[in-house]
Amino acid sequence: MFDIRAIRENPEAFRAAWNRRKPGLGDAVDDILAHDGALRKAVTDKQEAESARNANSKLIGQAKAKGDEAEFERLRAVVAEAKDTIEAAGEQEAAAREALDEILLGLPNLPLDDVPVGEDEDGNVEQKAVGTPTALSFAPKDHADLGEALGMMDFETAAKMSGSRFVLLRGQLSRLERALANFMLDVQTGEHGYTETTPPVLVRDEALVGTGQLPKFGEDSFQTTDGLWLIATSEISLTNSVRESILDADVLPKRMTAHTPCFRSEAGSAGRDTKGMIRLHQFNKVELVSIVRDEEEGLEELERMTRCAETILERLELPYRRMLLCTGDMGAGARKTYDLEVWLPSQDTYREISSCSYCGDFQARRMDARWRPKPTEDNPKPKPEFVHTLNGSGLAVGRALVAVLENYQREDGTIAVPDALKPYMGGLEVIGA
């Protein structure tokens, strides 16, 4: 959510920031201020009525003791009126608070000033490209054709049991996916200082509200019959691991990683990437989450996190580029996002394989996640402050598998194993040979 006091004191800054997200979105400021005004008036009316009720209730006994029937009846009427006002003001307060929360929970985060303004992916800006796009001496096959020809990637069998956008991997490709995940985890934990975590993949509404998937994006996720949600990313579980807590300054920055299945309905992706493993309902991902103190530390951590993800691509010797996302293409919870896109020869283009985002205190306010600064002479009892959060893919395992198949394919349909993965593949050098 957002600091209502900050909106109240500087509404035009919020209006301008939301308009950078989407023209006209800043008009929400007017509704916010209207509901905030109604809320504050209702609270004031309720408090004044409670004071009047309490003060006059004491006087009723005195009037009765004196035998002043007229004053007694007058005071009873005043107290009754105060009670009616309290009830009405309480209802107005609840309605205004609900309306205000509904607006604030549905609004996206404020983009940082250096984020380019744009409507969609066409407004994204390339920051750098690493490696030369793979040039094969033969017509490249896509990963689905390669995998099916090897008999190790089976969409038909998966569809019989689960429907479209599912895959069944076998043999060496199944091992390759496991090898990729283990390689990623070993690098992120052993070299980059992330703590491996095994979180729940089923979570409550509050967890999705905390990271921003609810209330607006519920259609993108799967919900069980008992109301739990399958996570679309372990960002949800990892970030919510600090909800409703006050962290000591010494534990920050807190870095976590997890390898989990992720589940997405792809509600808005009808007709897109219907073939292959690019866009599945179920896929595996190694996620990176960082909890930091403030914006300065958060922006430094964003660069660090992105480099941690880039390291995987570089060790796998996969060509990629880094994109700075524009305001219209960023996720709702982000203030700044870098996408990493890997080269796919069959498509003759780059495709997203990682997204690293700095979220400021947007998620922390929704989760009530704070940290306590260390005492100083000037401030011996510092108040807790909201943490700042970051998340990123380190990487999407299925898409990494796709990239390895396509970039390491050989003319006979076999796949060379990247050097970085050979120890994880028992020394195997070629898949399908």
Choosing from 40, 74, 279, 410, the catalytic residue is: 279
Rounded to the nearest 10°, the torsion over CA 305, 310, 312, 316 is: 180
239 is in an annotated binding site: no
Place of tokens 């299925």: 398
Tokens of 194: 């992330």
264 is in an annotated binding site: yes
Choosing from 48, 148, 317, 352, the catalytic residue is: 352
Which CA distances in Å does 4 have to 9, 31, 97, 275?
Answer: 9, 12, 12, 46
Decide if 297 contacts 392 (C-beta within 8 A).
Answer: no
Rounded Cα–Cα distance for residues 391 and 385 (Å):
20
Annotated catalytic, 429? no
235 is in an annotated binding site: yes
353 is in an annotated binding site: yes
- Across 209-238, b (16+ Cβ under 10 Å) vs e yields bbbbbbeebeeebeeeeeebbbbbbbbbbb
- The phi-psi region of residue 46 (left if phi > 0; otherwise alpha if psi is between -120 and 50; otherwise beta) is alpha
Cα atoms in the 13 Å half-sphere on the side-chain side of 7 = 25
266 is in an annotated binding site: yes
162 is in an annotated binding site: no
Residues 6+ apart with CB under 8 A from 350: 320, 321, 341, 342, 343, 344
287 is in an annotated binding site: yes
Annotated catalytic, 279? yes
Coil, strand or helix: which one is 337?
strand
Rounded Cα–Cα distance for residues 108 and 85 (Å):
36
What sign for the dihedral angle of Cα 155, 158, 163, 165?
A: negative
Choosing from 165, 175, 335, 399, the catalytic residue is: 399
Choosing from 264, 293, 335, 370, the catalytic residue is: 264
What sign for the dihedral angle of Cα 330, 332, 336, 342?
A: negative
393 is in an annotated binding site: yes
Choosing from 237, 241, 290, 355, the catalytic residue is: 355
Annotated catalytic, 355? yes
Cα atoms in the 13 Å half-sphere on the side-chain side of 365 = 13
Residues 6+ apart with CB under 8 A from 354: 309, 339, 340, 392, 393, 394, 395, 396
- The phi-psi region of residue 154 (left if phi > 0; otherwise alpha if psi is between -120 and 50; otherwise beta) is beta
Closest CA to 220 of 162, 177, 281, 310: 281
Coil, strand or helix: which one is 152?
coil
265 is in an annotated binding site: yes
Rounded Cα–Cα distance for residues 119 and 382 (Å):
42
234 is in an annotated binding site: yes
Q: Which residue ranges make up the annotated binding site for L-serine?
A: 233-235, 264, 287, 391, 393
Where is the binding site for ATP, in residues?
264-266, 352-355
Residues at the binding site are 233-235, 264-266, 287, 352-355, 391, 393
Active site residues: 264, 279, 352, 355, 399
